[in-house]
Amino acid sequence: MDAARAPLLASVLCLLAAAAALPAASAARAFFVFGDSLVDNGNNNYLLTTARADAPPYGIDFPTHRATGRFSNGLNIPDIISEHLGAEPALPYLSPELRGEKLLVGANFASAGVGILNDTGIQFVREHRQDRRPAARLYELGARQVVVTGTGPLGCVPAELALHSQSGECAADLMRAVNLFNPQLVDMVRGLNRALGADVFVTANTLRINFDYLNNPQKYGFTNVQVACCGQGPYNGIGLCTAASNVCANRDVFAFWDAFHPTERANRIIVGQFMHGDTDYMHPVNLSTMLAMDRERL
């Protein structure tokens, strides 16, 4: 496997487990995040890994204008969900600041390349083959509101376009894999909810959410949904985003920040559907409805 393709395979494994867990109703909700570089907010800063986003131009549009370990020009998906919750972002699991009252906010366990443990990805595949309900373990640990994201348009990211595309078409083999996986994820979650007798687990149709703006960019204010804002080579999809890379002047009109990850603007569109999308996007309910049901139980 070539180095450029390896991070994409890791993202597939991580996205299967990407989740936002909000435990049972209480005065303050704790927010826990599991996943890969799409939701990592700095764990890899503390790890010996090449999957890092702790140097410019990452963070160019973050409130501090500094690289934080988020694979974004600014805020990522968990940050924006926290905004909707009216809470500060959960700190990285490995941050030395995660102690005391900060623990009540929650914690972010995501790691780019799923690298908190060296064998995390391998272990996930092994467990998923043996137990088709690994997410049930979150329920056993007390999680009562869990969003599980489906796999997005992996074949359409700039890295894949740079490797395989002649005229901007998405990589067909990866899109076939996505279209096979996502319906099975929804079926698995439905089975979990039936077994638990409650809609604890919610699936997010990230493929459809992404395709809304990829197929109709003008509606969402994008002028470019194929070329990464930061990078080099075809589609700016070759190699890493570094200080030596091309960087677009207006990140708000680009859907992709680097070879694999959305811009903050795209992340805001994604979270908007998480919060308010109908059943074509969120099944069986969206996050706003889930939180309203939680308040009614108080």
The domain that holds 89 is classified in CATH as 3.40.50
Which of 95, 165, 199, 261 is labelled catalytic?
261
Q: Which of 114, 87, 113 is nearest to 102 (CA)?
A: 87
User: What residue numbers bound the domain in which 82 lies?
Assistant: 6-297
Q: Look at 27-36, 206-215, 223-232 and tell me which has the smallest mean pLDDT.
A: 27-36
Q: Which residues sit opposite 34 in a β-bridge?
A: 19
pLDDT class of 52 with cuts at 50, 70, 90: very high
pLDDT class of 13 with cuts at 50, 70, 90: very low
Answer yes or no: 37 catalytic: yes
- Identify which has the larger pLDDT, 145 or 194: 194
Domain count, the chain: 1
Instruction: Flag whether 1 is in a domain.
Output: no
Predicted local distance difference test score (pLDDT) of residue 250: 97
Which of 36, 79, 199, 258 is labelled catalytic?
258
pLDDT at 24 over 70: no
Residue matched to tokens 């706003």: 288
Answer yes or no: 258 catalytic: yes
Instruction: Flag whether 112 is in a domain.
Output: yes
Instruction: Flag whether 23 is in a domain.
Output: yes
Instruction: Flag whether 79 is in a domain.
Output: yes
Answer yes or no: 128 catalytic: no
d(CA 222, CA 247): 16
What one-letter code names the amino acid at 295? R
What one-letter code names the amino acid at 203? T
Instruction: Flag whether 284 is in a domain.
Output: yes
Instruction: Flag whether 59 is in a domain.
Output: yes
pLDDT at 84 over 80: yes
Which of 37, 95, 111, 165 is labelled catalytic?
37
What is the model's pTM?
A: 0.85
Instruction: Flag whether 42 is in a domain.
Output: yes
Residues whose CB is less than 8 angstroms from the CB of residue 235 and which lie 6 or more positions away in sequence, other chains included: 158, 161, 162, 165, 226, 227, 228
Q: Which of 35, 45, 88 is nearest to 63 (CA)?
A: 88
Predicted local distance difference test score (pLDDT) of residue 137: 79
Q: Look at 9-23, 127-141, 153-167 and tell me which has the smallest mean pLDDT.
A: 9-23
Instruction: Flag whether 11 is in a domain.
Output: yes
Output the six-digit token pair for 88: 């500060």
Predicted local distance difference test score (pLDDT) of residue 142: 77
